[in-house]
């Protein structure tokens, strides 16, 4: 969910995945974003990695299998797989999530296309520090160039005279602690000693962003205190580490992933939710929960063969300003293929009851169908200064319905973890969305 009021960083970014309901049967489990298997009933082999700007490798297609209707255990397995790391737009972690989602959608029988798009004024320039086989999220400081550097690391304390202690840092990546000196002075001190990179570890919990107030010659990044402990330990041992930093100017590239059943026409209904996060947030509730419910609904409706007119979209760069859903809406509008309905799922894993947002007949119908099935559902509205992907469609004249579980207490924080997700409400939101989609399909047939 996008929050427009200031928070730990700023607004966030969104990437769009867009899929049509496809056909049905089983396939091997897809890899989770960090490479471990996901315990899903209808997964497929993960797609091969593609670097940003390179053609995507189409995952093998399978067929959906598993229980009828929405299943809580299968949805929760997706939450666990996705929420192992933040998924900020324009980062390697985002791309790993894209590959996971593509593989899941392909496993239901969809033909998958990844559509790149770009957006300007990205508030989150997020890279990585690579330590052995581990990827640690890092924020590029303003004034730092982009690039990749790999070298032995050395700890330099506060990057002051005492920390550097007259050492020659030529060909080394300096690892400093935040505090006392400003970031520009830390950079100047290690650069004068010959360093080729600088990592600043936070001196309090969580990540932070910084400004050098000058143009640096090599990458300078910041990391959270929690992950930074391992980097400091590696620097004390002189281990080789790598910095991968995006530039702090220019456009950010993200992707729409489009999946169609063979011979599919346009979409009358699009069911979607964003999968990106803000920096430092694993994003289990915001919005691995909504993404998981979209995937599980795609599987459920793929049973028994394609459902013409029913499409599924998973959006990126939502946290930066709804960029993924905007890109998809612009493409559909230009082609004269806007859907009749858009069903959005965002923050669906913590709460007491199903909340339905939307001043539309379809939203009223969603509440009526859920309550008739014994699922408590009430009308609701977004918190002030916040938004979600349904707004891109509503602005284009599409009738929208937004399902949420209504508890935003952990979003955009390190506490937004899979362990906090309530499978009961995750399932009830998914069931309520299933009832509405099934009803809308009768109308658009």
- What is the domain-level CATH number for residue 89? 3.40.630.10
pLDDT beyond 70 at 360: yes
Question: pLDDT at position 42, please?
Answer: 34
* DSSP secondary structure letter of residue 284: I
Do 117 and 259 belong together in one domain? yes
Question: pLDDT at position 26, please?
Answer: 36
Say if residue 287 is preceded by a cis peptide, omega within 30 of 0. Answer: yes
For the chain, the average pLDDT equals 86
Question: pLDDT at position 33, please?
Answer: 52
Question: pLDDT at position 280, please?
Answer: 83
How many other CB atoms sit within 10 Å of the CB of residue 415?
14
Question: pLDDT at position 113, please?
Answer: 79
Question: pLDDT at position 123, please?
Answer: 74
pLDDT beyond 50 at 201: yes
pLDDT digits (tens, 9 = 90+) for 86-119: 999 988 888 999 999 999 988 988 777 788 899 8
Q: What is the span of the domain harbouring residue 160? A: 126-245
Do 97 and 218 belong together in one domain? no
First vs last C-alpha separation in the chain: 32
> Domain for residue 167, yes or no?
yes
Alpha helices in 83-147 (DSSP H): 92-107
pLDDT digits (tens, 9 = 90+) for 232-286: 999 999 999 999 998 777 788 988 777 776 677 788 999 999 999 988 899 999 9
Higher pLDDT, 316 or 40: 316
Do 82 and 206 belong together in one domain? no
pLDDT digits (tens, 9 = 90+) for 325-341: 999 999 999 999 999 99
Q: What angle do CA 184, 190, 192 make, to 5 degrees?
A: 100
Do 268 and 410 belong together in one domain? yes
Do 107 and 141 belong together in one domain? no
Backbone angles phi, psi at 95, to 5 degrees: -65, -35
- What is the domain-level CATH number for residue 137? 3.50.30.30
Question: pLDDT at position 56, please?
Answer: 58
**Residue 337 to residue 360: CA distance in whole angstroms:** 21
Per-residue pLDDT averaged across 39-43, rounded? 35
Per-residue pLDDT averaged across 152-159, rounded? 97
pLDDT beyond 50 at 51: no
**How many folded domains does the chain comprise?**
2
The closest alpha carbon to 396, from 342, 316, 360, belongs to 342
Per-residue pLDDT averaged across 348-358, rounded? 97
């Amino acid at each position: 969910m996008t929050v427009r009021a200031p928070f730990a960083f700023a607004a966030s970014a969104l990437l769009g995945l867009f899929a049509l309901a496809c056909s049905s049967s089983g396939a091997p489990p897809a890899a989770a974003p960090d490479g471990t298997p996901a315990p899903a009933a209808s997964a497929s082999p993960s797609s091969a990695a593609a670097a940003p700007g390179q053609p995507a490798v189409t995952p093998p297609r399978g067929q959906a299998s598993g229980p009828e209707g929405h299943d809580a255990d299968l949805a929760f397995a997706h939450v666990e797989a996705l929420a192992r790391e933040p998924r900020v737009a324009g980062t390697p972690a985002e791309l790993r999530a894209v590959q996971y989602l593509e593989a899941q959608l392909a496993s239901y029988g969809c033909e998958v296309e990844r559509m790149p798009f770009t957006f300007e004024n990205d508030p989150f320039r997020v890279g990585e520090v690579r330590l052995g086989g581990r990827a640690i999220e890092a924020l590029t400081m303003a004034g730092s160039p982009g690039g990749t550097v790999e070298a032995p690391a050395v700890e330099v304390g506060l990057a002051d005279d005492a920390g550097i202690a007259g050492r020659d840092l030529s060909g080394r990546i300096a690892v400093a602690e935040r505090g006392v000196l400003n970031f520009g002075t830390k950079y100047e001190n290690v650069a004068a000693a010959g360093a080729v990179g600088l990592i600043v570890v936070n001196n309090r919990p969580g990540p932070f962003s910084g400004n050098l107030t000058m143009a640096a010659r090599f990458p300078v990044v910041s990391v959270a205190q929690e992950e930074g402990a391992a980097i400091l330990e590696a620097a004390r041992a002189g281990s080789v580490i790598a910095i991968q930093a995006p530039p702090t100017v220019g456009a950010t590239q993200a992707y729409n992933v489009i999946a169609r059943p063979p011979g599919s026409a346009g979409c009358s209904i699009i069911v979607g939710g964003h999968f990106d996060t803000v920096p430092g947030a694993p994003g289990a509730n915001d919005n691995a929960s909504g993404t998981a419910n979209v995937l599980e609904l795609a599987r459920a409706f793929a049973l028994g063969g394609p459902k013409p007119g029913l499409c599924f979209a998973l959006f990126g760069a939502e946290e930066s300003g709804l960029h993924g859903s905007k890109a998809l809406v612009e493409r559909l509008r230009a082609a004269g293929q806007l859907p009749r309905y858009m069903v959005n799922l965002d923050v669906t894993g913590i709460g007491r009851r199903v909340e339905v947002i939307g001043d539309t007949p379809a939203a009223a119908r969603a509440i009526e169908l859920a309550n008739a099935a014994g699922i408590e559902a009430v009308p609701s509205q977004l918190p002030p200064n916040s938004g979600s992907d349904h707004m891109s469609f509503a602005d284009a004249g599409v009738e929208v319905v937004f399902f949420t579980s209504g508890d935003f207490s952990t979003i955009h924080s390190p506490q937004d973890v899979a362990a906090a997700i309530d499978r009961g409400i995750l399932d009830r939101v998914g069931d309520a969305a299933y009832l509405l989609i099934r009803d809308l399909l009768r109308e658009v047939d």
